[in-house]
Structures are given as C-alpha cells and as structure tokens.
Structure 1
Amino acid sequence: MLPAGYIAHRIGDRVRVRIPERKGDVAYFMRVERDLAACERVMYVEANPLTASILLRYTGANDDLRRDAINLGLFAIEEMPSSVNPVLTATSERIDQLDRFLQRSSNGSFDLLEVAFVGLIGASIIQVLRGQALGPATTLLAHALTILALYRSRRIGR
C-alpha cells in the first residue's frame, strides 16, 4: 500500500506535498525525488525527509499529479485531514460564543475584536504613564495595531 500524500498548498505550478508517515525516511525521499525528476510534467523537485515534504514545479493539474505519483508507485494523494486539536477547537468555539454575545448585547455596535483593540490601547497608555514606554507599552500598541489591520482587511474584503 502506498503512503498517503497531501497537497499542503499550490500556487501556480509550485506544489508542496507532505507525506507524514515517511517523515525521516531519507532513502524513500531520495527515491521520490529521483523518480519525480524523471516525470515530464516536473520542472523541479526537492524532497526533504526532515519535514516529510516535496516541493515541485509541476505543469499538470492536481489530478495529473495524483495519477503520476500512483503510476510511479510513490504515494497516493488524499484530502488533507483536518487538524484536530481539542484544546484549540474548544477555545476557538468559546471565543466565537463570546464574540456573538458581545455583538448581540451591543445590537451590533461592537465585537470582540473592537473590545480587544480598545483594551490594548488602554493598557499601553497605562504602561506609558508608568514609565514603561519602550517595553510593555510598545508591545501592547503593536498588538492593537495588528488588530486594527485585521479589522481593516476584513472591512475591505481582503
């Protein structure tokens, strides 16, 4: 049975494939690199056993890559499994609930992002007043500006 490969991302002809179950297998990744380099649709290939990934410049579609990898006996491309992290998932759900609560309570006037922004600005002002302008105040202000940039990018749909 062939190991499962996942297309981590694709931009144009640049494709990164991950094969987690072969992580650290130097001989396997050397073979993958050699065999894919001989494929006519592959313009460039670089395999990394430490990260269990293959970087390709590939002129075909994802289905072509899927067929080529199987025909070469290298890996079977499957859908990327959703990462399951119960702590992060639960935390994210709770934060979303809090955000919805704030929006409902304020009749849509503000959300959690705006509360965080105002809180960080306030905390940075307090740090400046305490004489901590170069350390904590600038860090808090930087986080507030990051939130502002996120808000603005959401507002203009980027």
Structure 2
Amino acid sequence: MLPTGYVAHRTGDRVRLRIPARKGDTAYFARVEQELAACGRVGFVEANPLTASILLHYSGTEDDLRRDAVDLGLFTIEAIPPAANPALNAAAARIDQIDRVIQRSSNGSFDLLEVAFVGLVGASIVQALRGQALGPASTLMAHALAILALHRSRRERG
C-alpha cells in the first residue's frame, strides 16, 4: 500500500507535498527524489525526510501529479490535508458553538468576543477595587484590550 500525501501549497509550477507517514525515512525520500527527477514534468525536486516534505517544480496539473506519483509507485495524494492539532480543533469547534448560542440567544446583539471583553473589564475593576491593581487587574485589562484590538481589526477588514 502506498503512503498518502497531500499538497501543502502550490504556486505556479512550484509544489510542496507532505507525506507524514514517512517522516524521517531517508531511504524512501531518496527514492522519491530519484524517481521524480526522472519524470518528464518535473524540472526540480528536493525531498526532506526530516519534515516529510517534497518540493518540486512540476509542469502538469494536480491530477497529472497524482497519476505520476501512483504510476511510479511512490504515494497517493489526498485532496485535503489530514487534520492537525485535533485537540485544538475540537476546542475551537466547541468555542464556535458557544459563540453561536450567545449570538442566537441575544438576537445577534452580542457574541463571545463581546461577552469576554465585558467580563474581563468587570473582573479587572473588581481586582482594582480589592487593591490588586498591578497584578490581576492589569493582566485582565491587558487581555480585554487585546480582545478590543482583535475586534477593531476584524471590523476594519469588513
């Protein structure tokens, strides 16, 4: 069975592939380099086993590259890269879900960013009133201002 790779990015004829299952396999990537270098559509190829990547200048389409890779017995290419950071992706999905609930329950008046901002400013005021102005209060206010800056940049982008 051939290992599965994906196109990390493509700009013109410059393509970077990743084959995570073969990371660190020096012999495999040396073979890939040799086989692809002999391919007529390849102008340049450089494989890096440490990063499991292949950089090449390829004059064909992505479908041509898929066929060439399989015909040479090197790898298959997935359309979508495998999920990275599954724990972070799961957390982000959950936070997005909370954001949608807040927006829906407030009829679009608030979102999670605004709730976090108001909560941080309020907590900062409470800490300042308790005499903790230089520790917790300033940290909470700094986080609130970071949210404000994020909100402004999103607003400017439309």
TM (norm. structure 2) is: 0.72
Q: One-letter code of the match for 2:150? A: I
Q: Residue 62 of structure 2 corresponds to which residue in structure 1?
A: 62
Offset from partner CA, 1:102-130 (integer Å, 9 cap, x none): 11222211211222344456667878x82
TM (norm. structure 1) is: 0.72
Change (3 A) 1:137 1:84: closer
Q: Residue 28 of structure 1 corresponds to which residue in structure 2?
A: 28
Q: Residue 43 of structure 2 corresponds to which residue in structure 1?
A: 43
TM-superposed CA distance for 1:141, in Å, is 5.9
Aligned-residue sequence identity (percent) comes to 62
Kept in 2, the 8 Å contact 1:124–1:138? The answer is yes
Q: Which runs of 5+ in 2 are unaligned?
A: none
Q: Which runs of 5+ in 1 are unaligned?
A: none
CA distance in 1, matches of 2:67, 2:117: 49
Q: Residue 116 of structure 1 corresponds to which residue in structure 2?
A: 116
Quick check: 1:140 aligned with 2:143?
yes
Q: Residue 16 of structure 2 corresponds to which residue in structure 1?
A: 16
Secondary structure, aligned partner of 1:45: strand
Quick check: 1:151 aligned with 2:150?
no
Change (3 A) 1:84 1:72: closer
Quick check: 1:100 aligned with 2:103?
no
Secondary structure, aligned partner of 1:2: coil
